[in-house]
Structure 1
């Protein structure tokens, strides 16, 4: 625990020193350096819950210079790759592009059932399918970038999936968890957006998704933000690009939160990053935050935990996201 406390102190000092330079950064800061951008589709075997195979779509940003490694980004429920690469009227908010600027091959994927990836029957869009499909995807990325370390970065439900993948794939060298945490007391879900059929939603109705696909009610996504720290243009773009979830995914999130089964099987370094206004953190004991994460990841060789001021659940979409991403990139470079 002493090492974690020292690391947290160092992070806090670094953020304080850089606050003056970054507090007024625009969302477009991630575009400061050239990179190569392209889409990719990877067909993977699944063999779980009635899904024999699936296509995983992703957006890939490659640094102009030599890459230090690969970051694979896994979005949460009702999000796709846009969470990590969002164009708004005020500019581009992009953890993926910033990672590329920092020297990483950044791959932001769409989970099965979202974005450009396969959309099987809603009952087959389960956590087991997500873990199996993304494990095969990561293994394929590992073959394509055989000499580079791979860091898996999850958000919210995507963090749960990322933990499951890390527990299974030998190609993951480090794991970053955002918008998800472990605690000994239950969190409050009061105010969480209601989920409605995607077929009735003005953003998604045109996609004609299979019955049973769900999304958040129109205008409810402010729940994921600390509004004083968010740009209204970002919230508008978030609503305009929102994705889906299914009832079959919910048990996987709840089971992992209660049991920590995936976390206990992770054997690589772990970074947990949570916003101080995240609904999952509300009511938690601040002194127990880092120890609770260490207890969850019992087999991990290192566990670091950071609480981000002036941010809520959607860490990558707040005004201070460039600082959060820089922190993640530095940690990834030193642990992979």
Structure 2
């Protein structure tokens, strides 16, 4: 495909590509068929693949998750959409108690190759329950993969990998950057590796670790700091469970300093796990305490206060400056 496409279009392209390649892939969720999804990620799929492979469901997240587990256990590859992260809580019993445990419970006799797609995060002036960033809830669960793309190319390749994975994947799509920029994405059916960090920018002075929509501000901060002579290495974590700690540790061994940036609240977040691992396994490399730039430990506010809640480029620059000045 030669034209540049946005992330949401890359999600659609990946779904279309894999549905053409594999008849066992089924798309289901609220409004995914006739309306093409609330963000139009599934637009046109029902017309191409029919009502037996693109299923409009009732407004019943528990049912969507439970139906997906059943499909996956019987040889299908369901890709279910939960409209917003704030609606995911009814799925948790099915996802945690059944999807994540199925292979272990059956001693490998059954697998659960399902994907739960979830638009998440703030920045689009959504109402309550629509802007949560609760990735840590699922990253805590053994047996689940949690994957977050940050660009159209990665959304395409990672979604293909998630669908082909024999175990359940929570595929979280940062909706703030659904249409932020476009990239040329070749529809070649090539999946990107899961469980790996991506080094987006090489640097020597400090390591910036982030994922999802916050990669945008992280790269902006790296550009501003470069003008001040600061060389930042930028790492996109991508898979939050399991985390590729080796890439992060190797980077910090080179730079000696680290700032972790994420939109979710600070307490008990994935950033805390990365920081703890750096303390346990990379302490002798660190020349300063690990800093975190995060959302607040509060409910995500309505749109008037949304920009105050979300970390911004200036916050990251300030944290980097303070970390570099530590001695």
TM-score past 0.5 threshold: no
- TM-score tier, shorter chain, comes to 0.3 to 0.5
Larger Rg: 2
- Structure with the bigger RCO (C-alpha within 8 Å, sep 6+) is 1
TM-score by length of 2: 0.32
